[in-house]
A and B are shown apart, each in its own frame.
Chain A
Amino acid sequence: MPGVLSRAAAIVGAAEANEIGYPAEPRTSLQLHIEAIKNVSEQTGIPISRIDGIFSAGWSSELAEHLGLHPKYIDTTAVGGCSFEMHVHHALAAIHAGIIDVALVSHGEAGWSARANRGRGGRPGGGAGDPWAPGTQFTTAYGLSGAPSNYSHSMTRHNHRFGTTPEDFANIAVVTRQWATLNPRAVMFSKETHPEGGPITIEDVQKARLIAWPLTLLHCCLVTDYGGAILITNPEIARSVKTKPVWIAGAAENMSHSNMLEMEDFTATSAAASSAAAYKMAGMGPEDMEMAMIYDSFTITAGITAEMLGLAPRGEGFKLWKDGHAAPGGRLPINTNGGGLSFNHSGMYGQQLIVEAYRQLTGTAEDGVNGIAGKQTTARSCVVNGTGGSLSTTGTLVLVAD
């Protein structure tokens, strides 16, 4: 009997770049991608705008941005020469699952021209990796230095558009620190775990050293080490093990840009789209969420994301913290581990969000390792939202307790 994926999708076109082999003029890898994509679009009559899933060996975010696409499935698996066969496999599954309708598998690699280009114009990433990439060529001159230097522009715009203030967002740092004081594993748990640990005030946040106005140090996340792992199984196994299951009721992803140059609305992220899709899959809405784990690389990230997740009206995300709803004992606990701001942030913080959501939803947040009295909530449902890049990419999970 055929497997369930059998004949679930078909290859409908195949084309190459205009010049391959040893081109007369040196090419870039990006040119090779774009020419082939344009050609297969013309060959099949399928407009590029119909592509909603993008598969490549490391290039997917840059290609999607270059094409002005907001794909619903982004796969950049890069494991050597067999990657493209794998992309086809992944695309088949994604199509069978109904996530996407048109998958692009693209390859562009200036193996020959790389010599003439002296190593430029070859690598994926769109950022610091390649001097010719737009993210380097048109931003490198202007002194930006990492995430806070860029995210700060978002808070300025939010303040302008909605009449908010940096003090409003400081509430997020203060309340998140309250949660950290209930988590002995949080870096900022107490003065014993860190000289600056323990409770803080809005004044503390606002008087901290400026990193990139309007962001002070206490508007910014920690830089720490972290290791975390989760196991996901089928329902049969999940029912048979001794630990409790947390069901993935909804899951989705999206992106709005790669470089902040292309951020259309500095007060919004693609979490609006990814959460809408995740809620839809779950048959639930923001009103059904009893807690939230929200990526808080900066206070502005958490504030905006709360709005995108439908947990607060536009421009008012910070009020969840300011009015105490997100705090211990509040109606919608948020970032119960102490957040990236005060618990732990290793550079990529998405796994920390999921681990804490699992602990909360299984009632194990006060197991003597990762929490003291008052930390465990009664939440039975949780929306988890990760944010990547420069407010660029988002993934949303709707998790529910058994």
Chain B
Amino acid sequence: MPYDKPIPDPSPHTKPFWEGAKAGKLMLPRCTNCNRVHWYPRLICPNCHSRDLEWIEGSGEGRIHTFAVQHRAFGGWAGETPFVTAYIDLNEGDRMLTVLRGVDPTKPEEIKIGAKVRVEFEPASEDVHIPFWRVV
């Protein structure tokens, strides 16, 4: 069945991220001046305002910062409710949004903030593989 949920539209600026995703790598922007990794990708370091930025391959590991269970959704996601959304603290720093995998949305009390998660990529189209995080 073709992927029926919203598919991100990569911009020229974020191309390295989406190329990495296609190859199964979590590419993250890092400032070569202050060495800080940030997310989402900026055109300028939000910490020191240098424009000397590079892409590094992240560990693909992190922890749950917080989460919620969506009982109402639209489009392709409407048929998936309930599902768990979460903000993930990356091991490298900063935070990503995801639909969390490997958890039971009917038992939110069993989902633990701080639990370790790992990234995986789902092919949504030929060019766009979407990162999702799974509890390990």
Where the two chains meet, the residues of A that have a C-beta atom closer than 8 Å to any C-beta of B are 25-26, 28, 30-31, 34, 38, 41, 47-49, 66-68, 120-121, 131-132, 134, 136-145, 148-149, 152-157, 160, 209-215, 259-262, 266
Is residue B136 contacting chain A, with contact meaning CB distance below 8 A? no
The 8 A CB mask of B89-113 against A (1 = contact, 0 = none) is 0000001111100000000100001
A-B contact pairs, 11 of them (CB 8 A): A49-B49, A66-B46, A136-B8, A138-B40, A138-B96, A138-B97, A145-B72, A152-B69, A153-B86, A215-B68, A266-B87
Indicate if the CB atoms of A261 and B49 lie closer than 8 Å. no
Indicate if the CB atoms of B85 and A143 lie closer than 8 Å. yes
Indicate if the CB atoms of A28 and B87 lie closer than 8 Å. no
Indicate if the CB atoms of B68 and A212 lie closer than 8 Å. yes
Indicate if the CB atoms of B130 and A157 lie closer than 8 Å. no
Assess A212 versus B72: contact at CB under 8 Å? Given A47-B49, A134-B41, A141-B124.
yes
Assess A153 versus B49: contact at CB under 8 Å? Given A66-B42, A121-B11.
no
Indicate if the CB atoms of B87 and A153 lie closer than 8 Å. yes
Instruction: Specify which chain B residues have a CB less than 8 angstroms from the CB of A266 in the assembled complex.
Output: 65-66, 87
The 8 A CB mask of B5-36 against A (1 = contact, 0 = none) is 11111111110000000000000000000000
Instruction: Specify which chain B residues have a CB less than 8 angstroms from the CB of A209 in the assembled complex.
Output: 71
Indicate if the CB atoms of B130 and A141 lie closer than 8 Å. yes
Where the two chains meet, the residues of B that have a C-beta atom closer than 8 Å to any C-beta of A are 5-14, 39-44, 46-47, 49, 51, 65-74, 77, 80, 82-83, 85-87, 95-99, 108, 113, 124, 130
Instruction: Specify which chain B residues have a CB less than 8 angstroms from the CB of A156 in the assembled complex.
Output: 66-68, 113
How far is A266 from B65 in the complex, measured between Cα atoms in Å?
A: 9
How many Å from the CB of B26 to the closest CB on chain A? 12
How many Å from the CB of A209 to the closest CB on chain B? 8
Indicate if the CB atoms of A120 and B97 lie closer than 8 Å. no
Q: A156-B68, A261-B87 are in contact. List 20 more A-B contacts (CB 8 A).
A: A30-B43, A31-B13, A38-B49, A67-B49, A68-B47, A120-B9, A134-B41, A137-B14, A140-B6, A143-B70, A143-B99, A144-B70, A149-B85, A153-B67, A156-B113, A157-B113, A210-B82, A212-B68, A212-B71, A213-B108
Instruction: Specify which chain A residues have a CB less than 8 angstroms from the CB of B13 in the assembled complex.
Output: 28, 31, 132
Indicate if the CB atoms of A261 and B95 lie closer than 8 Å. yes
Instruction: Specify which chain A residues have a CB less than 8 angstroms from the CB of B12 in the assembled complex.
Output: 25-26
Instruction: Specify which chain A residues have a CB less than 8 angstroms from the CB of B124 in the assembled complex.
Output: 141
How far is A350 from B42 in the complex, measured between Cα atoms in Å?
A: 32
How many Å from the CB of B135 to the closest CB on chain A? 15
How far is A38 from B49 in the complex, measured between Cα atoms in Å?
A: 8
Main secondary structure of the interface of A (DSSP, over half): helix
Assess A152 versus B98: contact at CB under 8 Å? Given A34-B43, A49-B49.
no
Indicate if the CB atoms of A214 and B40 lie closer than 8 Å. no
Which residue in A31, A137, A145 is a CB contact (below 8 Å) of B9?
A137
How far is A28 from B43 in the complex, measured between Cα atoms in Å?
A: 11
How many Å from the CB of A26 to the closest CB on chain B? 8
Instruction: Specify which chain A residues have a CB less than 8 angstroms from the CB of B46 in the assembled complex.
Output: 66-68
Which residue in B5, B68, B87 is a CB contact (below 8 Å) of A141?
B5
Instruction: Specify which chain A residues have a CB less than 8 angstroms from the CB of B51 in the assembled complex.
Output: 38
How many Å from the CB of A154 to the closest CB on chain B? 7
How many Å from the CB of B103 to the closest CB on chain A? 12
How far is A136 from B108 in the complex, measured between Cα atoms in Å?
A: 27
Indicate if the CB atoms of A67 and B44 lie closer than 8 Å. yes
Instruction: Specify which chain A residues have a CB less than 8 angstroms from the CB of B130 in the assembled complex.
Output: 141
How far is A67 from B43 in the complex, measured between Cα atoms in Å?
A: 9
How far is A49 from B44 in the complex, measured between Cα atoms in Å?
A: 12
Assess A149 versus B72: contact at CB under 8 Å? Given A28-B11, A140-B6, A143-B5.
yes
Instruction: Specify which chain A residues have a CB less than 8 angstroms from the CB of B87 in the assembled complex.
Output: 153, 260-261, 266
Q: Name which residue of chain A comes closest to B105, CB basis.
A: A213
Q: Name which residue of chain B comes closest to A37, CB basis.
A: B44
Indicate if the CB atoms of B68 and A152 lie closer than 8 Å. yes
How far is A101 from B8 in the complex, measured between Cα atoms in Å?
A: 39
Indicate if the CB atoms of A141 and B6 lie closer than 8 Å. yes
